[in-house]
Every structure is written in structure tokens, then in C-alpha cells.
Amino acid sequence: MLYQLYETQRALVEPFADFAQATAKLYSNPMLPYSKLPYSQRMVAAFDLFYRLGKDYEKPEFDIRSVKVNSVDVTIREHVEIDKPFCELRRFKRFSDDPTTLDTLLEQPAVLIVAPLSGHYATLLRDTVNSMLGDHKVFITDWKNARLVPLSEGEFHLDDYVNYVQEFIRHLQGKYGHCHVVSVCQPTVPVLAAVSLMASRGETTPLTMTMMGGPIDARRSPTSVNNLATQRSFEWFENNVIYRVPDNYPGAGRRVYPGFLQYAGFVAMNPDRHATSHYDYFKDLIKGDDASVEHHRKFYDEYNAVLDMDADYYLETIATVFQDFKLVNGTWDVVNPAGETERVRPQDIRGTALLTVEGELDDISGSGQTRAAHDLCTQIPADQRKHLEVPGAGHYGIFSGRRWRENVYPALRDFVLQHQAGTPTTKIALAAGPARTKAESPETPAALNVTATPVHSKRRSRR
């Protein structure tokens, strides 16, 4: 019933938001006399703010049109490589007619970025993707809004998430012979499970896996997010945050954790900060500070755009990751597409190098939660494992912004290249012209240029 009430409220506010937008344009148009009235700029600011508080925020675009590769502009075109019921594997294909640049593009490693399915769209990693496109072939998991997925497509479970990741890894390996995996926040757990299951079966695993700010062991340095999950029972979550999608969406009747409830939770974590931000936006509009105004709009266009999550996936994540700690306890079983149950055993991973990244001030995944992956992956040699802690970085700072670009990305890039060197030659068919064969660069890059310490751990007994 709550979802229906929210939709009714949204439908009532929408025409007033549209009116506010039209009025703001009316009073800001220099060709009309209204813009010359006293306090017109304040009226514009007030109506514009009301519009942005009341408007409906749709899924943003990645909007990455080109990147620099060796100082040459390379065109980017998005392409859906695999379309699954609840996710698209999206590729950022790069084009250049410069022969030297083309050779460079062909030799660069393929990277699968596994974006979080935890409220926001994959576009939250726009800065991550943009940085990596200069040195990698980039693919990303673009999760779909569950309210747009018809019931006929079935349910979506945490096991399905793990199986999707394995399928995407195999797809990249089939194209390039190898790949690297980067997971940010929530997907660190299912990605580790996916690679573990592949290792246990004797499949080829990614050359590297990078885990950034994720709850591998949510018992360490618990945050407010962790505390909520442990203080409330599984039944509480099922009874209080799960609702059915209303009839005005393709996914009508599907049980979901609605995006608007998730958004309310995001704002509730720092209400004063958001109130101050909106007031500053109002003042910037009056002052005519276009740069600050545009920065605010871009941030909240992303922040306010949220998606619904399938109830089964969400509830199973709460239980598996934040209540029962099945990954670190060695009790997590995953059902594969064939219907067989397999135990997740990170200790079986041997041929995949591991990099973990944490922010010093992360209030989502506390200190040590991501680094815990090293204690689980005991068969990965110590010289194949690195940990990076970013001073002064919060949760978003490790994958977006200045600290990401200056500290984290150089370390990640060098780690990938270090383990990419010497991989087998891969045949790649060009769009125009015969197939060409390009060997990966034989040179091993210099040591990481930021503080990244080797991790040593004692082997744990198998549970």
C-alpha cells in the first residue's frame, strides 16, 4: 500500500513541479519584462529549487563521448553486449582511425567493472569508467530497475547475481583469452563468490580481481549500515521494506525494495548536509554562479535517481552478508544454473591476483571489511596480493573524484598491467579489414607509485 501512496503523491506533485520549472524560465528569460521585476532572480531561484525537489529523476546517461589515449581523441560508443532479464553487460567500444592508437587499443587489457546493485544506477561509476577507458577495454554491469522487469521474467536471487558475473567473465575470456575484474562496494562479495566457484571447478579465473570498499567481512569496524542489518531481524526487513510494484509499471506485482525508500535512507544518513547543499544551490542561483549550480545539478541528477531491487535478492543479501556472514564463515552455498548446489571456497583461488582498496573515512564499508578478502584467499601467493588505503577518502572518494584519479586509479592501472604482461596472443577481428593478431605488451611496469603494501596471512583451516 505504501508504494501506491507514494505513486499517488508523486502524480500530484508532478504538475506543480512542471509549473515551477515553467515559471522559473518565464522570470529568467531576458527577452521578457518579467526578468526586470524586483526580486526576479530570487523568484527564479525559488521556483527552480522547488522544481528540482519535486521532479522525477530518471536513469542518467553515462554521457562519455570520447577519451584521450596517448593524447589522441578516441570516440566512445556504448553497446549492449549481453542482455539479461535483470542486467545488461554494457561495453564502451572505442574507435580511432589513427593506426598507432588503434594498435595501442588492441593491446590494452579487458576489464569487467561490476557495478553495485544497491540503490543507484551503474552511472554512479561514470568517473571510474571514464578514467579506465584510456588504458583498458571496459565492460560494466548495468543493472535494470526491477519495477520495469515483468513478472514473466521470474525472480532474481543473490545466486543469480553470482551466476551473471561468471557468465560475463567467461564472455570476456572467450573474446580476449583473459580478463580482469573490478568490483565496487556491494558486488565485492558476489564477485569473490563467482571467482571462487570458477576456481573450485578448475575453470580459468580472471588475471586480477580488484575489490573496492566492500563488505567482505561486515563484522569489522561496523558502520551504521552494518548495525541496522544486525539490529533488525530478517522478518523485520521483509515486513517493513518490501512492497509490490503498482500497476502503472511493467513489473506490476513484483516484490521489491522500492527506490524511494532507499533514497529516504540515503538522505537520513546526512540530512543536514543535504539541506545545506540545497540552500547553497538557492544562493548560487541568485548570485549567478553557473559553475556551482551545474555541479549541484549533476550531483543530484545522479544521487536522486534510484532503482527498485528485487525482494529476493535484497533479503538474501541482508541475510548472507550482514547477518549470517556466510562468506567468512565458509557456509555459503550457491545454486548454479543447472540447479546444483556448490560451496563458495575462496581458498581455492590460486591464479588470480588480488588488490583491495579502502578509504580511510569510509562510513559505508568500515576499515578492514574489504581487506578481509586476503584472509580468505589463502592460496594466492603473498606477492600477488596488495592492499591500498586511501588517506582522507570516504566511500565515494575511492572510485570518484580527485583521490580516485590521483591515488587509486594509478595503483589499479599498474596492478592490472603488472599481471597482464606475458599473457597469450589474442586474435581480434577489426570492423574494417582482416583479423589481426596483437600480443600483449611484454614489458612489466614499474612498482606501484602509491603506497600499496603486500598482505601476508596465515592459512585458515577449511570449514
DSSP 461: P
Average pLDDT, the chain: 89
Q: What is the CA 136 to chain-centroid distance, rounded?
A: 17
Across 371-377, average pLDDT: 97
Residue 265 has a pLDDT of: 82
Average pLDDT over residues 68-80: 94
pLDDT of residue 423: 60
Q: What is the mean pLDDT of residues 81-87?
A: 97
Retrieve residue 94's grid coordinates: 572505442
Instruction: Report the candidate in 166, 120, 112 with the shortest Cα–Cα distance to residue 140.
Output: 112
Residue 91 confidence (pLDDT) above 70: yes
- Rounded Cα–Cα distance for residues 141 and 388 (Å): 24
- How many angstroms separate the CA atoms of 384 and 356, rounded? 12
| pLDDT reported for residue 43 | 92
- Phi and psi torsions of 253, nearest 5°: 90, -15
pLDDT at 442: 30
Check: pTM over 0.75? Answer yes or no.
Answer: yes
pLDDT band at 428 (very low <50, low <70, confident <90, very high): very low
Residues paired with 208 in a beta bridge: 180, 353
Domain segments of the chain: what residues? Answer: 2-56+261-303, 66-237+309-454
Say how far apart CA 308 and CA 321 lie, in whole Å: 19
* pLDDT confidence bin for 36, thresholds 50/70/90: confident
Q: What pLDDT is attached to residue 39?
A: 85
Question: Chain-centre distance of CA 186, in angstroms?
Answer: 8
For residue 433, pLDDT over 80 is answered with no
Query: What share of the chain has pLDDT > 90, as a percent?
Result: 78
Which of 3.40.50.1820, 3.40.50.720, 3.40.50.620, 3.40.50.2000 would CATH assign to domain 66-237+309-454?
Answer: 3.40.50.1820
